[in-house]
Chains A and B, each alone.
Chain A
C-alpha cells in the first residue's frame, strides 16, 4: 500500500514537473524570441538581426553578403503575418531594445513609424543619398519622414495581377489561357459576371478566396484614380464615410459575396493557407509579392496549377516595403550598409527572382531579366511582363498612421458578412463605427 502510494506520489510529482516543463518551455520559446535583439557581438564578428514578414526572398542574398563580409553574421527573423509583426516592432521600438538591426516597414505601417523618426537612423548619414536615382521617385520620397530624415530605403512594390487556378477554370468551362482569361474581365463587373459563370458550373470550389484581397485591391485602385488616399486624408483625419473609394470597394466586394462567389476565408489564416492546397477557390487578386505566398501555401503539388492574368479595373499596386535601421541598433553603420546592399538594383533583382517581390529600382525594368522573366511555378507565366507594365505608371496612395488598425476592422466586418452575421447595410454602418473606434 505504501509502495503504491509512493509510486502515485511520484507519478503526481512527475506529472506536475512535466506540466511545468511544458509551460515554461512554451514561455521561454517566446522569451528567447523577443530577447535576442540587436546586440550579440561574439568573437569579432558582428551579428545583424533582420526582421521581416511574409516572404522577401532574401535567403540567398544573406549568404552572399556573409561571404563577402567575413565579420558579419546575419540572423533573419521572419513572421508570416504583418498583423503580428507590427505590434511587436512597435513595442521593441518603444522599449528601446529588442528590435532587429534592420527592420522591414510595409507601406501600410510606414507612416506610423515615420512619425517616430527619432527611433530610426537617418540613412542619409550613411551615404544613401547617392542611391536616389535608382528608385522610383515616389518610393524614395515616401521613405522620408516629415523632418527630412531618410528612414527607409525601398524594397519592392506590389503591382497587381489576378491569380487563378487553371484546373478549376477548365472544370468550369472557362478559358485557361492567360490572355483569354485577362479578356474575360476588363473591369470588376465583368469579373463578377465571370464569377457567376464559374459558380453556375458547380465545381465544388468557390470563385474567390474571400473578401480581403479583393477589397484591398479595389480600394487601392479607386484611391489611386481619385483622391490619392484611403481611410485617412493626408492630414491623418479619418474620412471613412466620405471617401467614395472605400464605399465603391466595399460595395463591389459585398456583391461578390452576395453572388456566392466567396469562400469567405480571411487572408493569412491557416484555413486560408489550407484552401490553396485543397483548391477551395479559383482566383484571388495578387500583387506580385503574393506569388511567393501562393507558392509557399500551395506547395510542390500546386506547381503548374496556378497562372497569372491581368487584374480587372486597370493597374495599381498593393503593398511593398522599405528597410530601416532602428537607432537602438548597436551596429547602425553595418546595418545601414546591409540595407544599401539589399535595396540595390542588383539585390532587388535577385530577390525578385527568388520571391517575385517586384523591384522599386527602375534599372532593370527594361532588362530582359525582368521583361522576359517567367515563373515556372505559375505555368511559365511571363510575370515580368504582366507586373512590369504598370510599374512605372503607379500612383502612390497615402495610407494614414492608423491604417492597419482600420484595415483590420474592415476586414473583420467583411468576414462577418460572409458568415451571414451581418446584412450589407448593417455592415457598412458597423464598419464606420469600428473604423472610428480603431482610429481613436
Chain B
C-alpha cells in the first residue's frame, strides 16, 4: 500500500527508517535506541531537534500516505452510511415487525416475508413491473443506439440536435405523465382519436394489461431515450476514427460498421445504461401513479400496479409500515438479481461478437 501509493518516496522512507527508529514502530525498542544515540554523541541537543523535525515530517508523510486516501473517499461513505446504509438496515428492521401507524408495533420475525411469498397481489405487481420494464427498456436502448449513431455523423447544427434529444429529460415527470395520460384518455384522448381516423375502435387504455403497459412504456421512453442516446454518443466519440477508416477500406458498409465495430466498442457503456435503466425501470412510480388518476391501485384490478405502487399502497394507504418495508426489501433484492442477470447477459452477447 505504502510503496504503491508513493513509489518516488520509497527510497527516502527506507533511508530514514534505518537512520533513526521511528515513533510509529514498536514503542518498546524506541527508548533503547535513544539511549545509544545519547551515549555516542557530543551534541545531543542539535541532533535531537533535527531528528524530531525529520521524524515529525516523516510521520506526517506516512500518515498522509496511509490515511489521506481514506479521508478523500470518506465523504461519500459517510453520506452513504447516513442516507443509504442506515435506511436500508432500518427498513429491514421495520420489515421484521407487525408495524402499523395506528396501534403500535410488535416483533414478528420473518412473518412478513412468509406472507409476501404467497401474496398474489405482490407477484402481480412484480409481473407488471418486469413487463413494463422489458417493453419500455428494450426498444428504448435500441432506439437510443440508432439515434446516437445518427447524431454522431457530421451535420449542420449538430449541437442543436444533440441538446434537443435531452429536452424531454428536463421536463418534469409529473407533467409528462399528466400529458400522456390525457393523450391516452378513453373518451377524449388524442391516441384514440388518431386510431379512430384509421378505423380502429377506441381502446380503454387503463383497462387492460397490455394497453396500460404500452401507454406507460411510451412515457418512460419519451423521457429517457434521449438521455441514453447522449451517453452512447459520448462513448462513440471516443472510438478512434482510424478503425472506421480501416473498416471502410475493407469494404464494410455503414450498417456493418455500426453492428460490428460501434456496438462492440460500446460494450461497457451499454452495460452501464442497461443497469441504470434496470434500477430506474424497476422503481417505476410516478408514471403508473398518474396514469391511474393518482391512486396506488394501478388500475381496477391492479393491471399496471408496479412494486413501488404496491409498497405505497401498503405503507401509506393501509398504514402497514412493516409490510411496506418488506416489499421495499423484496424490491431491493429483485433489482440486485435483475441487474446481475442483465450484466451477465449483456457481457455474453457482446463478447460473442
Binding site for B on A (CB under 8 A): 4, 7-8, 11, 15, 18-19, 22-23, 26, 81, 83-84, 87, 90-91, 94, 115-116, 263-264, 266, 269-271, 274-275, 278, 280, 405, 408, 412-413, 415-416, 419-422, 430, 437-438
A277 nearest CB neighbor, chain B only? B188
In the complex formed, the residue of A with least CB distance to B189 is: A271
Minimum C-beta distance from B183 to chain A (A): 13
- Partner among B121, B300, B319 whose Cβ is within 8 Å of the Cβ of A421: B300
Within 8 A of A (CB), among B163-178: 163, 166, 169-174
Cα of A421 to Cα of B303 in the assembled complex, Å? 10
B301 touches A405 (CB 8 A): no
Q: Which residue of A lies closest to B319 (CB)?
A: A90
Chain B residues whose C-beta falls within 8 Å of the C-beta of A405 in the assembled complex: 317-318
Does B169 lie within 8 Å of A15, measured CB to CB?
yes
Among candidates A90, A274, A278, residue contacting B102 with C-beta atoms closer than 8 Å = A90
A-contacting 9-mer, from B76-84, B142-150, B261-269, B289-297: B289-297
Q: Are A15 and B207 in contact (CB under 8 A)?
A: no
Whether B162 and A8, one on each chain, are in contact in the complex, defined by CB atoms closer than 8 angstroms, is: yes
* A residues near B186, Cβ cutoff 8 Å: 271
23 cross-chain CB contacts under 8 A: A8-B159, A15-B163, A19-B169, A26-B172, A26-B173, A26-B174, A83-B295, A87-B316, A87-B319, A91-B316, A94-B102, A269-B293, A270-B293, A271-B187, A274-B188, A275-B187, A405-B317, A405-B318, A412-B301, A416-B300, A419-B208, A421-B300, A421-B301
The closest CB in chain B to the CB of A18 belongs to B170
Complexed CA–CA distance, A87 and B295 (Å): 12
How distant is the Cα of A275 from the Cα of B187 in the complex, in angstroms? Answer: 9
Contacts of A263 in B (CB 8 A): 187
Q: Check: B17 CB closer than 8 A to any chain A CB.
A: no
Q: Of the candidates A116, A274, A420, which one forms a contact with B187 in the assembled complex, judged by CB atoms under 8 Å apart? A: A274
Take A8-B159, A19-B169, A23-B172 as given contacts and tell me if A421 and B207 are in contact as well, using a CB distance cutoff of 8 Å: yes
Q: Are B102 and A19 in contact (CB under 8 A)?
A: no
Considering only residues 90-114 of chain B, those with a C-beta below 8 Å from chain A are: 101-102
Closest beta carbon of chain B to A354's beta carbon, Å: 27
**Besides the contacts A90-B101, A115-B102, what 18 more A-B pairs have beta carbons closer than 8 Å?**
A8-B163, A11-B159, A18-B170, A19-B169, A19-B170, A22-B171, A26-B173, A81-B294, A87-B316, A91-B101, A271-B293, A408-B297, A412-B297, A413-B301, A415-B300, A416-B301, A421-B300, A430-B301
- Which B-chain residue is minimally distant from A26 (CB atoms)? B172
Interface centre among A8, A87, A430 (most CB of B within 10 A): A87
Instruction: From the candidates A22, A269, A419, A430, name the one contacting B204 in the complex (CB within 8 A).
Output: A419
Q: State in angstroms the CA–CA spacing of A438 and B296 once bound together.
A: 14
In the complex, the answer to whether A11 meets B163 with C-beta atoms within 8 Å is: yes
**How many angstroms from the CA of A280 to the CA of B207 in the assembled complex?**
18
Nearest CB of chain A from residue B250's CB, rounded to whole Å: 29
CB pair B317–A87 under 8 Å, yes or no, is yes
Q: Which residues of A contact B295 (CB under 8 A)?
A: 83
Q: Does B281 contact A (CB under 8 A)?
A: no
CB distance from B238 to the nearest CB of A (A): 14
Does the CB pair A22–B301 fall under 8 Å?
no
**Chain A residue at smallest Cβ distance from B316:** A87
Q: Would you call A419 and B207 a contact (CB within 8 A)?
A: yes
Q: In the complex, which of the residues B166, B188, B301 contacts A278, with contact meaning CB atoms closer than 8 Å?
A: B188
Residue B185 is within 8 A (CB to CB) of chain A in the complex? yes
| B259-280 contacts to A (CB < 8 Å) | none
Q: How far is the CB of B190 from chain A (nearest CB, A)?
A: 14
A263 to B207, CA, bound (A): 13
**A271 neighbours in B (Cβ, 8 Å):** 185-187, 293
Residue of B102, B173, B208, B297 touching A116 (CB-CB under 8 A): B102
Closest CB-CB distance, A8 to chain B, in whole Å?
A: 6
B303 (CB) vs chain A CBs: closest residue: A421
A19-B169, A412-B301 given as contacts; is B101 within 8 A of A94 (CB)? yes
Chain A residues closer than 8 Å to B297, beta-carbon distance: 408, 412
Q: Across the interface, do B300 and A22 meet the contact criterion of CB distance under 8 Å?
A: no
Closest residue of chain B to A16 (Cβ to Cβ) is: B170
Question: Which A residues are in CB contact (< 8 Å) with B102?
Answer: 90, 94, 115-116
User: What distance in Å separates the Cβ of A119 from its nearest Cβ neighbour in chain B?
Assistant: 9
> Judging by beta carbons under 8 Å apart, are A419 and B300 in contact?
yes
Complex Cα gap A15–B292 (Å)? 30
How far, in Å, is B287 (CB) from chain A's closest CB?
Answer: 14
Contacts of A83 in B (CB 8 A): 295
Q: Which chain B residues lie closer than 8 Å to A421 at the CB level? A: 207-208, 300-301, 303
* CA distance in complex: A101, B102 (Å): 20
Report the Cα distance A278→B188, complex, angstroms.
9
Closest Cβ–Cβ distance, residue A430 to chain B (whole Å): 8
Q: Is B207 a contact of A22 with CB atoms below 8 Å?
A: no
Contact with A along B45-85 (1 / 0, CB 8 A): 00000000000000000000000000000000000000000
- Distance (Å) between the CB of A419 and the closest chain B CB? 4
Q: Are A22 and B188 in contact (CB under 8 A)?
A: no
Picked from A7, A23, A437, A438, the residue with its CB within 8 Å of the CB of B159 is: A7
A-B pairs, top 5 by smallest CB distance, nearest first, are A419-B207, A416-B300, A415-B300, A269-B293, A19-B170
Whether A413 and B300, one on each chain, are in contact in the complex, defined by CB atoms closer than 8 angstroms, is yes
Given the contacts A22-B171, A271-B186, A274-B188, A4 and B159 also touching, CB distance less than 8 Å: yes
Q: Mark B179-218, 1 if CB is under 8 A from A, else 0.
A: 0011001111000000000000000100110000000000
Specify the chain B residue showing the minimal Cβ separation from A4.
B159
The answer on a CB contact under 8 Å between B172 and A280 is no
**A15-B166, A419-B204 known; A280+B300 contact, CB < 8 A:** no
Give Cα distance in the complex from A60 to B300, angstroms.
39
CB distance from A406 to the nearest CB of B (A): 11
Report whether B316 and A422 are in contact in the complex, using a CB–CB cutoff of 8 Å. no
A269 — which chain B residues lie within 8 A by C-beta? 293
Q: Measured between alpha carbons, how far is A413 from B299 in the docked complex, in Å? A: 10
A90: chain B residues at CB < 8 Å are 101-102, 319
Question: B170 and A15: CB pair below 8 A?
Answer: yes
Residues on A with beta carbons closer than 8 Å to the beta carbon of B121: 437
Chain B contacts for A280, CB-based, 8 A: 187
When distances are taken between beta carbons in the complex, the residues of chain A under 8 Å from B172 are 22-23, 26
Query: In whole angstroms, how far apart are the Cα atoms of A263 and B169 in the complex?
Result: 36
